Amino acid sequence: MPEAHPKPASERTADVIVVGAGPAGSATAYHLARSGLDVLLLEKTAFPREKVCGDGLTPRATKQLLAMGMDVSEEAGWLRNKGLRIIAGGHRLQMEWPELASFPDYGLVRRRDDFDEQLARQAEKAGARLHERCNVGEPILDPRTGRITGVHAKLGGPGVLSKDMTPVTFHAPLVVAADGNSTRLSLKMGLHRREDRPMGVAVRTYFQSPRHDDDYLESWLELWDRRGAQDKLLPGYGWVFGMGDGTSNVGLGILNTSSAFGELDWREILKAWCASMPEEWGYTPENMTGAIRGAALPMAFNRQPHYTRGLLLVGDAGGLVNPFNGEGIAYALESGAIAAETIVQAHGRSTASQRELALRAYPKVLKETYGGYYNMGRAFVKLIGNPKIMKLATERGLSHPLLMRFTLKLLANLTDPRGGDAMDRIINGLTKVAPRA
């Protein structure tokens, strides 16, 4: 760890303000603080707090946790997984995560109400100054340049009602929006969602279940409602992730490329799917340990630009969810690291124009890193939005293990960028030639 930061000139000023202490915000704050910058990390709620998620992490996310110095051992409360099990079309295929130089060969599982706090505390240990119960409202803008120079917020404490929170202002020459899909700060800065980018919705709940210690993430590419006289194929895909604590996280996702998007009650769809499961798994109402909750999945750079007038967007605020598989945490952590590196380099420049030049590189790096891959994903979600194509793909594909291993690498974005096998070279080649809008 670096030496302790000198006491800031003011508790309300910093080199950088990060709004939101989810994975993207905490990763950004951690890497900035490790580099010696004074960082304010502002979180509107208090930890631990709930967050809708599948709770399953691929090796891509695991790599970023290791880079943050996290203890991801089982003794520290993490459940490791070996790979992915896919169920569809009468097939059941179990595949281990690929052995790569660039990524570990295991994933992780941890509940988000605890996972997010672990990351925020790690950022604190690195030197970031975390304010919980800090509700950020309006940006503070320089009237001459229109640049963001801080934020207006309200600070509260345990048991304090919103009307009794204390108005405060925080100041910094750079602000990072890590405030999730709703990203009020981005909206206040005039950055609206792109309608030409895919959007998903996920709903999930927890059940007491004997399957809680499953060491594979499980993905169901067909959802069946078997309650009536005739089985009915439901739109979307489902997952079952054992949590290792006596419960399973069971949920489903739906893309807006599906004709059923916005028309159905997805909580009822989840209930119908769970009712079709074997009774001994325990996915029944009496074993449910929490309410069914839903959240949006902003995909494929659905809010741009990722840098403007002193504001950088990371994670869900910038629409960095992978359109191939709905994974968001890995890209939240990665974008936080990329944003932090950009800011550190800009901070070291001697003039305002040089700092601005460095900051404007951030969107370019994101597009170079993910642009081609995300555009391939956009084409993919349009195809699988057609249930006939999805059904045909699962029926034919799952009977070919070699093809499915290629698909696993593609969907999870797990390849070695240099060298690697023939599959890696094909996937890497495709992402390079794809447009990077």
What would the DSSP string read from start to end of 249-288? EEEEEEETTSTTTTTS-HHHHHHHHHHTS-GGG--SGGGB
Q: Please, which pLDDT band fits residue 206 given cuts at 50, 70 and 90?
A: very high
Q: 68 vs 193, which has greater pLDDT?
A: 68
pLDDT of residue 102: 95
- Measured N-to-C along each axis, helices 372-384 and 422-433 cross at an angle, to the nearest 10 degrees, of 100
Residue-wise DSSP of 342-398: HHHHHHT-SSHHHHHHHHTHHHHHHIIIIIHHHHHHHHHHHHHTSHHHHHHHHHHHT
In the three-class reduction of DSSP (H, G, I as helix; E, B as strand; rest coil), residue 198 is classed as coil
pLDDT band for position 89 (cuts 50, 70, 90): confident
pLDDT at 404: 84
End-to-end CA distance of the chain: 38
Average pLDDT estimate for 34-58: 93
pLDDT tens digits for 305-350? Answer: 999 999 999 999 999 999 988 899 999 999 999 999 999 999 999 9
The whole-number pLDDT of residue 387 equals 65
Q: What is the pLDDT of residue 235?
A: 62
Q: Please state the domain extents for the chain.
A: 16-82+111-195+300-374
Task: Report helix angle 329-347 to 59-67, nearest 10.
Answer: 40
Tokens 């709905």 correspond to 326
pLDDT on residue 169: 96
pLDDT at 429 > cutoff 70 = yes
Do 289 and 152 meet the contact criterion of CB atoms below 8 Å apart?
A: no
**What pLDDT sits at residue 15?**
97
Please report which confidence band the pLDDT of residue 423 belongs to, taking 50, 70 and 90 as the band edges.
very high
Which tokens in the block code for residue 83? 């790979």
State the pLDDT at residue 93.
87
Identify whether 305 is preceded by a cis peptide bond (ω within 30 of 0): yes
Of 302, 275, 273, nearest in space to 200 by CA: 302
pLDDT band (50, 70, 90) for residue 386: low
Amino acid 381: pLDDT: 80
C-beta of residue 314 within 8 angstroms of C-beta of residue 320: yes
CA distance 245 to 129: 32
Identify which of 119, 175, 136 has the alpha carbon closest to the alpha carbon of residue 343.
Answer: 175
Residue 351 is predicted with a pLDDT of 95
Span of 29-33, 247-251, 387-391, 403-407 with lowest mean pLDDT: 387-391
Residue 207 has pLDDT above 60, yes or no: yes
Tell me what pLDDT residue 225 has: 66
**Per-residue pLDDT at 358:** 97
According to DSSP, residue 418 is labeled: S
Mean pLDDT of 117-146: 96
Architecture of domain 16-82+111-195+300-374: 3-Layer(bba) Sandwich (3.50)
Mean pLDDT along residues 153-171: 86
Given a contact cutoff of 8 angstroms between Cβ atoms, the answer to whether 342 and 356 are in contact is no
pLDDT for residue 42 = 98
What average pLDDT is seen over the chain?
89
Report the alpha-carbon distance of residue 215 to residue 108 in Å, rounded.
9
Statement: residue 2 has pLDDT above 50: no
Beta bridge partners of 18: 41, 176
Give the length of the chain.
Answer: 437
- What is the pLDDT, as a whole number, of residue 398? 67
Residues 6+ apart with CB under 8 A from 119: 21, 22, 23, 26, 27, 30, 68, 70
- Give the pLDDT of residue 232: 67
| Mean pLDDT score, 207-212 | 95
Res 88: pLDDT: 81
Q: Is the model more confident about 437 or about 235?
A: 437
User: Residues with Cβ < 8 Å from 157, sequence gap 6 or more?
Assistant: 133
The residue with greater pLDDT, 80 or 227, is 80
Is 225 within 8 Å of 272 (Cβ atoms)?
A: yes
